[in-house]
């Protein structure tokens, strides 16, 4: 079985500041990891995915995430926050089956 | 590109009423999923369909039934709605059930049970 823990349910950053969203996973097999973003009243959109090809994964909208096996982490970062980054972000993990296990989500607020 | 389309977008039901949530995808995906989203709990899988003609239970299947009508459509039915089923429901699809295939989501159905 696999699971995900997202540290911090809310993150507030200033426009132009670093965005860091933390995700730790638990998996008995090599994991496949995903970050999704959800804007208000919309479904989830894929930001990026880790599939073991490279430990640093670049996604859309300037986001990237680094897979660290020793720390069982897959933190999401963006160097400079934009107002349009205000949304809820979900980390998800999948093992050898079809099922995605989602974290509880982190809501990002961007201050002008 | 429509992607994954869910209907209705909003619905209010009384306890005990029944309802079917509709989902259709136009990406020729084999696999389809139903999730519910509740505050502070992320998304939880209700049922999934790996391919046309097959369905399987997910994490929280009690109180729900599904039908994979054809490759495009996957419906979720509440036979006797309960207040605990108040939630936002998302349908998703993916090319295969392969572990690295991302899922594509609809915009959700916001369901309130009084």
> From residue A65, how far is each of A7, A14, A72, A76, B18 by CA, in Å?
15, 20, 13, 4, 43
Per the CB < 8 Å rule, is A44 touching B90?
Answer: yes
pLDDT tens for residues A65-101? Answer: 999 999 999 999 999 999 999 999 999 998 666 678 8
Give the span between the Cα atoms of A75 and A80, in whole angstroms. 16
pLDDT tens for residues A11-37? Answer: 999 999 999 999 999 887 778 899 999
Q: Which of B42, B59, B106 sits opposite A104 (nearest CB)?
A: B42
From chain B, pick out residues whose CB is under 8 angstroms from the CB of A4. 42
Instruction: Note whether B50 contacts A: Cβ–Cβ < 8 A.
Output: yes
Distance to chain B for A61, nearest Cα, Å: 17
Per the CB < 8 Å rule, is A41 touching B102?
Answer: no
pLDDT tens for residues B54-74? Answer: 999 999 999 999 999 899 999
The predicted pLDDT at position B102 comes to 83
Give the span between the Cα atoms of A71 and A34, in whole angstroms. 17
Count of A–B CB contacts within 8 Å? 58
The predicted pLDDT at position A96 comes to 66
Tokens describing residue A8: 């911090």
From chain A, pick out residues whose CB is under 8 angstroms from the CB of B7. none
Strand positions, DSSP E, A55-96: 56-58, 64-68, 73-78, 87-94
**Torsion, CA A48, CA A52, CA A57, CA A61, rounded to 10:** -10
CB A93 within 8 A of CB A100: yes
Distance to chain B for A76, nearest Cα, Å: 17
Instruction: Note whether B53 contacts A: Cβ–Cβ < 8 A.
Output: no
The predicted pLDDT at position B97 comes to 58
The CA-based angle B74-B28-B50, given to 5 degrees, is 50
Comparison of pLDDT for B101 and A23, the residue scoring more = A23
């Amino acid at each position: 079985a696999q699971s995900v823990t997202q540290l911090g349910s809310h993150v507030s950053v200033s426009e132009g500041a670093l965005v860091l969203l933390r995700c730790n996973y638990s998996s008995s097999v090599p994991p496949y990891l995903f970050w999704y973003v959800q804007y208000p009243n919309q479904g989830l959109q894929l930001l990026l995915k880790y599939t073991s090809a490279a430990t640093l994964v670049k996604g859309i909208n300037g986001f990237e995430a680094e897979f660290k096996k020793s720390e069982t982490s897959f933190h999401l970062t963006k160097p400079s926050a934009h107002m349009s980054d205000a949304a809820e972000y979900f980390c998800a993990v999948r093992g050898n089956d079809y099922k995605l296990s989602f974290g509880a989500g982190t809501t990002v607020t961007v201050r002008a | 590109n429509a992607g994954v389309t869910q209907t209705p977008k909003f619905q209010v039901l009384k306890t005990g009423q029944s309802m079917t949530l509709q989902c259709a995808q136009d990406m020729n995906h084999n696999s389809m999923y139903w999730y519910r989203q509740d505050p502070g709990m992320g998304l939880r899988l209700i049922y999934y369909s790996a391919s046309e003609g097959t369905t399987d239970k997910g994490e929280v299947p009690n109180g729900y039934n599904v039908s994979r009508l054809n490759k495009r459509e996957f419906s979720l039915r509440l036979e006797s709605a309960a207040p605990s089923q108040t939630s936002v429901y998302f349908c998703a699809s993916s090319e295969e059930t392969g572990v690295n295939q991302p899922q594509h989501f609809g915009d959700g159905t916001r369901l309130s049970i009084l």
